[in-house]
Structure 1
Amino acid sequence: MSTGIPDGVICVAGLGVSGVAAARALAAAGRSVVVVEARDGESQRAAAAELAAAGVRVAFGTGLPAGAALVVTSPGWRPDHPLPAEAAARGVEVIGEVELAWRMRPPGAAPWLALTGTNGKTTAVRMLTSMLRAAGLSAVAVGNVGTPIVTAVAEPHDVLAVELSSFQLHWSATLAPAAAAVLNVAADHLDWHGSMEEYARAKGRVFERAGVVVHNADDAWSARLAAPYAAGPARTAAFTLGVPAAGMLGLVEDLLVDRAFVADPRGGAEELATLDDVRPLAPHNVANALAAAALARAHGVPAAAVRQGLRDHVPDPHRIAHVARVGGVDYVDDSKATNPHAAAASLAAYHSVVWVAGGQLKGADVEEVVRAAAGRLRGAVLLGADRARIRQALARHAANVPVVEVEGQETGVMDRVVTEAARLASPGDTVLLAPAGASLDMFAGYGARGDAFAGAVRRLAAAGTS
């Protein structure tokens, strides 16, 4: 095992997917492991029994086990949670599963290509994985998506495509990816981090030891986080939706072009793909493709594999997914737009929109997204816990836009939402579910919210043809 993991008891926080994977990996390496789990239910007891067979003890509660030399915390636990707070007070180091995986890499382990951002992480990392595989490499998407990274580092891959959240980066101290990108940074999870500056600081940790630093030239925070590395030992590159200068990837008419990872960045360029290769085609998704391409090119992936990877990429559900056209109106599910920045990007992809929005805003401000989208809005249907804040912003910045609030949390609420949206829409409009908020006030997750929307749209379509 790599250095950086002290002798003694290793405390793993929680019986979630990453916690169980971390506990198993540590036990397999011969370490003494105690998992601390706050919830004491049937599923937790079953998981504890399975871990016991692997030599892992589970303690129910929140206290730090005696003799703990290291805490591997759950990524969502804030520093003031009782367990990491107690560890910090006792001088016990606290890390996350991602940091643990980095420290547990075997000799000759696969390099990491890492990316983070407020929005687009999963899409970009899946695009990146597809490009790497198109180049004939054994690659897997890990981190905040797919396989637990502590499991993947022990597998015989050529390279890992690593999606990192701000929570994971907060609990990481020594990561040194071969290349790293920050897609964008906008207000999100401020209730966890405490301020925009602290949230951005966590995102910027991905650059600290990266061999290649890739930033979004069109995003002020991404550029700001990359700026200190311009004169350092790391190679730097950028991507833009504009025409790229030397050292950048960008667009020349309908072509995705590389002027960074070519023999002569000042005088040369290489075509990577066309806009038709990007699915679904929307400005923010083109930015995702360029970021993924930058990381792939930093790893030596040829242009032909970048294009093939984009063509092979299958978009995940609930990301600007077209559901149906009913009465000349398109219905689009972007339930994954769980913050205002993501909703703004989605709204910018359509010219005439009936906006379905609402949920948990997590402390984020909706003023700018409403102000920017006001000219595109033909109506708005609001639901969820923080719908009043969106209604107030609409009243300030889009006073002429008709607004309907749908109350209630019962199963049929989305049918009423879609019915009201259909009433506001005219042929040529798009009814867009881009909530700008999290879903857990009403649904099991953004996927359940998107499924409810799609189901309601299909029932609307069926009713219209019956």
Structure 2
Amino acid sequence: MSLESRTADGWATTQFVVLGFGTAGYACADSLIQAGAEHLVVLDDRDTEALREKAQILETLGATITLGPGSTAELPKEVDVVVTSPGVPPHAPLLAQAAERDVPIWSEIELAWRLRDPATAAPWLCITGTNGKTTTVQMLTAILQAAGHRAVAAGNVGLPLLEAVMDPEPYDVIAVELSSYQLHFTHSMSAHSAAVLNLAPDHVDWHGSMEAYALDKGRIYANCQVACVYNVADPATEQLVADADVVEGCRAIGFTLGTPGLSMVGLVDDLLVDRAFIEQRATSAQELASLADITPAAPHNVANALAAAALARSFGVPATAVRDGLRGFRPDKHRIAHVADVAGVNYVDDSKATNPHAAQASLLAYEHVVWIAGGQAKGATFDELVIAARERLRAVVLLGQDKQVIIEALERHAPDVPRIVVDATDTGAMRIVVGEAAKLAQVGDTVLLAPGCASWDMFANYGARGDAFAEAVRSLAE
């Protein structure tokens, strides 16, 4: 039985197993039923009232839902395709059994790609990377909408991708954020254009190695049709383009914070310019926007804007729409967000910086920083960050489970930088942290929450951590 293309009868006769019944798993199961699947089993080791309520809905439509401990221990005998939720690692028992039996494993992204109606399907402009994905996808969507397109951000942010492709009113184009988890089991996607923003160690425990993580990121370029966008400052991203099997005629397009070479977008003085998508690119460049159009104009955010501009230009968007889209865009909360100025000190919330690479980008955006860091390091190291940022560090205030990892990096590479360790882990801990940071900061400094770590040791999520920081800063101001 071929799985490369499907008729309605094909969906009806295929035996599907959906692994996981969270938001993504429910969307996969619901979409399969809408597509005509008549043999559908959903498995999840959790058993909650909310999951049981959702299960009742799908069971009335013919699905078989099995919840509770041990439900995912064994792959059913009758199965043609496993659709897995993001975050389930390849070594999970059920997926390992599927691999042993040569049963195809699809991500929700793979399912969404196969569910598209070829007659009306919107092109996908896809983005991945260790950091900056969400902001870049949102910038790209703003640019596309400024050009008059019916566009939406989907995938790992915004609208669920399955919902976007199943919309009865087709979109003109979809800006798709993809995580390495989602890409791992994605096989047949053929993006109009795609970008890898950067590569740094993250989720290595899930992938098994940095090399495997990078290879999964590189899957975004497979079968790419028009443009593979890479980061000139990160040679690993260009290597992924070189290694990709793309559609003939697809171009490699670089983005850079320097003066762009041929087939690149970059900066000339305070202007974002295009030397990739104009006929005269060998000898000239076209102005797209200015640094004043980007908020905030921190270097890593300018890089995000350039990547978004490159993808938009690959889709034929005019230069004026790049400018208008960027000018009207504001990033989500907790992404290098200005909270307040108190006694001449700038307080910035970048709680979304949950790994060292993201935190380093934030630190390098400011001249003198009192850095608030710590949490769950997820096995990451901080030596490279400290070496890159030590000349900017006024002081460091540390909290959280793995603060010792950061302390040791500071001892090795910046022993003279003052540091305060806050051991409190209760709800008042952030107020103590901000108070200590305020004592260390001088007029003109930035107190920067860029933890470089996950938040779950002390907070429900990075948003709750950022909110606690902002509340503490407001209390300080009062």
Q: TM-score range by the shorter chain?
A: over 0.9
Q: Are 1:369 and 2:385 an aligned pair?
A: yes
Contact 1:9–1:67 (8 Å) recurs in 2:
yes
Partner-residue secondary structure (3-state), 1:393: helix
CA distance in 2, matches of 1:57, 1:263: 57
CA distance in 2, matches of 1:65, 1:383: 46
Contact 1:230–1:236 (8 Å) recurs in 2:
no
Hey, what does 1:80 align to over in structure 2? 91
Letter in 2 for 1:432: L
Hey, what does 1:8 align to over in structure 2? 14
Shift of 1:454: 0.7
Letter in 2 for 1:261: F
Hey, what does 1:44 align to over in structure 2? 51
**TM superposition score normalised by structure 2:** 0.94
CA distance in 1, matches of 2:56, 2:425: 36
Contact 2:374–2:452 (8 Å) recurs in 1:
yes
Hey, what does 2:177 align to over in structure 1? 163
Residue of structure 1 aligned with 2:64, choices 50, 57, 65? 57
Shift of 1:356: 0.4
CA distance in 2, matches of 1:299, 1:193: 32
Hey, what does 2:298 align to over in structure 1? 282
Hey, what does 1:136 align to over in structure 2? 148
Residue of structure 2 aligned with 1:227, choices 242, 248, 251? 242
From the superposition, tell whether residues 377 and 269 of structure 1 become closer, same or farther in structure 2 (CA, over 3 Å). Answer: same
From the superposition, tell whether residues 39 and 350 of structure 1 become closer, same or farther in structure 2 (CA, over 3 Å). Answer: same
Partner-residue secondary structure (3-state), 2:166: coil
Hey, what does 1:387 align to over in structure 2? 403
Hey, what does 1:124 align to over in structure 2? 136
CA distance in 2, matches of 1:263, 1:280: 31
CA distance in 2, matches of 1:350, 1:135: 33
Hey, what does 2:105 align to over in structure 1? 94
Contact 1:2–1:104 (8 Å) recurs in 2:
no
Residue of structure 2 aligned with 1:110, choices 122, 126, 140? 122
**TM superposition score normalised by structure 1:** 0.96
Which is further off, 403-412 or 128-137? 403-412
Structure 1 consecutive aligned stretches of length 4 or more whose deviation exceeds 3 Å: 4-7, 228-233
CA distance in 1, matches of 2:378, 2:106: 24
Residue of structure 2 aligned with 1:342, choices 358, 368, 378? 358
Residue of structure 1 aligned with 2:309, choices 290, 293, 299? 293
Partner-residue secondary structure (3-state), 1:404: strand
Q: Gaps (5+ residues) in structure 2? A: none
Hey, what does 2:30 align to over in structure 1? 24
CA distance in 2, matches of 1:53, 1:417: 52
Q: Gaps (5+ residues) in structure 1? A: none
Aligned-residue Cα RMSD (Å) equals 1.6
Shift of 1:444: 1.1
Taking every aligned residue pair, what percent have the same amino acid on both sides?
Answer: 56
Hey, what does 1:437 align to over in structure 2? 453
Contact 2:218–2:244 (8 Å) recurs in 1:
no
Hey, what does 2:231 align to over in structure 1? 216
Residue of structure 2 aligned with 1:152, choices 158, 164, 173? 164
CA distance in 2, matches of 1:363, 1:105: 39
Letter in 2 for 1:27: I
CA distance in 2, matches of 1:328, 1:125: 34
Q: Are 1:201 and 2:208 an aligned pair?
A: no
Contact 1:75–1:171 (8 Å) recurs in 2:
no
From the superposition, tell whether residues 194 and 2 of structure 1 become closer, same or farther in structure 2 (CA, over 3 Å). Answer: closer
Hey, what does 1:263 align to over in structure 2? 279
**Cα deviation code 1:329-387 (max 9, x no counterpart):** 11100000011000000000001001000111212221100111111111111111111
Contact 1:8–1:67 (8 Å) recurs in 2:
no
CA distance in 1, matches of 2:454, 2:378: 8
**Cα deviation code 1:6-38 (max 9, x no counterpart):** 743211111221111111110011102221111
Contact 1:254–1:274 (8 Å) recurs in 2:
yes
Aligned length: 462
From the superposition, tell whether residues 153 and 107 of structure 1 become closer, same or farther in structure 2 (CA, over 3 Å). Answer: same
From the superposition, tell whether residues 430 and 194 of structure 1 become closer, same or farther in structure 2 (CA, over 3 Å). Answer: same
Partner-residue secondary structure (3-state), 2:53: helix
Contact 1:102–1:175 (8 Å) recurs in 2:
yes
Contact 1:355–1:432 (8 Å) recurs in 2:
yes
Contact 1:254–1:275 (8 Å) recurs in 2:
yes
Shift of 1:324: 0.8
**Cα deviation code 1:250-275 (max 9, x no counterpart):** 00000000000111210231100000
